[in-house]
C-alpha cells in the first residue's frame, strides 16, 4: 500500500498540532513544517513524523522547504497550509512592515508551496490541498485590516486554484475557523484585559459570547474537517469550498 503523505505548516501548536495528531493517528507520514524542531517534542513517538525547517515569513525558507519536500517526499497526498499570524490594530497604527509581514505569512507562503508542490500532484493525477483561513476571510472585523486582507486573499487563492486544477484530480478547499481555543485566542484575551481592565475570565467570556454556542471552537474540531477534506473518498468532488467552523458566529 502506498504511504499517504501530508505536509502541514505550523504543525507544532494550536490548530496545526491538532491536525498533525489527527493524521498521525490515521497512519499518515507527516512532514511537519515548523521553525524549530523542539516545537514537535510533544508529538514525537506518535507516528511517522518528519521535521522540515520552515519560516513562513521568509521566501527563501519557504522555497527551501518546498525543495526538501520535492526531494525527500516526492508526491504528497495532501498539503495543509495552516501557519498564520494575526494582528489587532487600528488602521493608523498598522505599519507597512506589519501589513507586509501578514501577507507574507498568510498568503505568499501558501502560494509558493502550492506553486512548487502541486505539479507533482497534478502529474500523479490526485491530491488534496486545504488552506486554513478564518472567519476573517468571509467578513470584516474592526482593527484587523491587515489580517482580513490576508485571509480574504487566501480564500481567493483557494477558489482560483480550485477552478484551475478541477480537471487535474487536485482539490483545493479552505476551512474558516472562528474563535478557536489556541494561543491566538489567548493573545486576544490578553489584549482585551490590557485595554479594558477586565479579568481574564471576563475577557474570555466576552469573546466566547460572539459564538452562539457560547464557547470557543476546539482545535480538534477543525482538524477533523481538515482530515475529512484530505482523506475521505466522500470529499473527492468537493473543491473551492469554504468550511466555516465557528459555532454559528457568522450566520
Per-residue model confidence as pLDDT tens digits over 99-148:
999 999 999 999 999 999 999 999 999 999 999 999 999 999 999 999 99
163 lies in a domain? yes
For residues 150-155, give the mean pLDDT: 98
- 155 and 221 belong to one structural domain: yes
User: Does some domain include residue 250?
Assistant: no
**199 and 104 both lie in a single domain:** no
CATH number, domain containing residue 95: 3.40.50.720
- 142 and 110 assigned to the same domain: yes
Do 189 and 104 share a domain, yes or no?
A: no
Task: Give a yes or no: residue 127 inside a domain.
Answer: yes
Residues 188, 223, single domain; the answer is no
Do 53 and 113 reside in the same domain of the chain? Answer: yes
67 and 89 together in one domain:
yes
Residue range 93-103: mean pLDDT, rounded: 98
Closest CA to 117 of 167, 151, 81, 83: 81
The verdict on 130 and 193 lying in the same domain is no
Q: Percent of the chain scored above 70 by pLDDT? A: 100
Q: What is the pLDDT of residue 82?
A: 98
Residue 249 lies in a domain: no
In a domain, 91, yes or no: yes
What mean pLDDT is predicted for residues 224-240? 98
The pLDDT value given to residue 53: 98
DSSP 3-state assignment of 189? helix
Q: What is the mean pLDDT of residues 180-191?
A: 79
Same domain, yes or no, for 154 and 240?
A: yes
- Stronger pLDDT, 192 or 235, i.e. the higher one: 235
Which residue range forms the structural domain that includes residue 58? 5-178+217-244
Mean pLDDT, the chain, as a whole number?
A: 95
Residues forming the active site: 147
Cell digits for 236?
473527492
Segment among 6-15, 77-86, 121-130, 208-217 with least mean pLDDT: 208-217
Q: Does residue 74 lie within any of the structural domains?
A: yes
Q: Verify that 16 and 97 share a domain, yes or no.
A: yes
Per residue in 189-210, pLDDT (tens digit) is: 787 788 888 898 887 888 788 7
Residues 97 and 188 in one domain: no
pLDDT of 206 reads 80
Domain count, the chain: 2
Max Cα-Cα span within the chain: 57
Q: Please tell me whether residues 155 and 207 are part of one structural domain.
A: no
**Alpha helix ranges (H) inside the chain:** 14-25, 59-68, 96-103, 109-124, 145-165, 183-196, 200-208, 219-231
Predicted local distance difference test score (pLDDT) of residue 1: 63
The x, y and z cell numbers of residue 102, run together, are 501578514
Residue 37 lies in a domain: yes
pLDDT surpassing 90 at residue 240: yes
Amino acid at each position: 500500500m502506498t504511504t499517504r503523505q501530508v505536509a502541514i505548516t505550523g504543525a507544532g501548536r494550536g490548530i496545526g498540532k491538532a491536525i498533525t495528531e489527527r493524521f498521525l493517528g490515521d497512519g499518515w507520514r507527516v512532514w511537519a513544517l515548523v521553525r524549530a524542531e523542539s516545537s514537535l517534542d510533544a508529538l514525537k513517538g506518535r507516528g511517522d513524523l518528519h521535521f522540515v525547517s520552515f519560516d513562513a515569513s521568509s521566501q527563501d525558507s519557504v522555497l527551501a522547504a518546498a525543495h526538501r519536500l520535492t526531494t525527500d517526499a516526492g508526491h504528497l497526498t495532501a498539503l495543509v497550509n495552516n501557519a498564520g499570524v494575526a494582528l489587532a490594530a487600528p488602521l493608523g497604527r498598522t505599519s507597512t512592515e506589519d501589513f507586509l509581514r501578514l501577507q507574507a505569512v498568510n498568503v505568499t507562503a501558501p502560494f509558493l508551496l502550492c506553486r512548487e508542490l502541486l505539479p507533482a500532484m497534478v502529474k500523479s493525477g490526485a491530491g488534496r490541498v486545504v488552506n486554513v483561513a478564518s472567519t476573517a476571510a468571509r467578513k470584516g472585523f474592526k482593527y484587523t485590516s491587515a489580517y482580513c486582507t490576508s485571509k480574504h486573499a487566501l480564500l481567493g487563492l483557494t477558489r482560483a486554484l480550485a477552478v484551475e486544477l478541477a480537471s487535474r484530480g487536485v482539490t483545493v478547499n479552505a476551512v474558516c475557523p472562528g474563535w478557536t481555543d489556541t494561543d491566538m485566542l489567548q493573545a486576544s484575551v490578553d489584549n482585551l484585559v490590557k485595554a479594558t481592565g477586565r479579568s481574564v475570565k471576563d475577557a474570555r467570556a466576552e469573546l466566547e459570547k460572539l459564538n452562539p454556542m457560547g464557547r470557543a471552537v476546539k482545535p480538534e474540531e477543525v482538524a477533523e474537517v481538515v482530515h475529512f477534506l484530505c482523506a475521505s473518498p466522500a470529499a473527492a468532488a468537493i473543491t473551492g469550498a469554504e468550511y466555516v467552523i465557528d459555532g454559528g458566529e457568522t450566520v
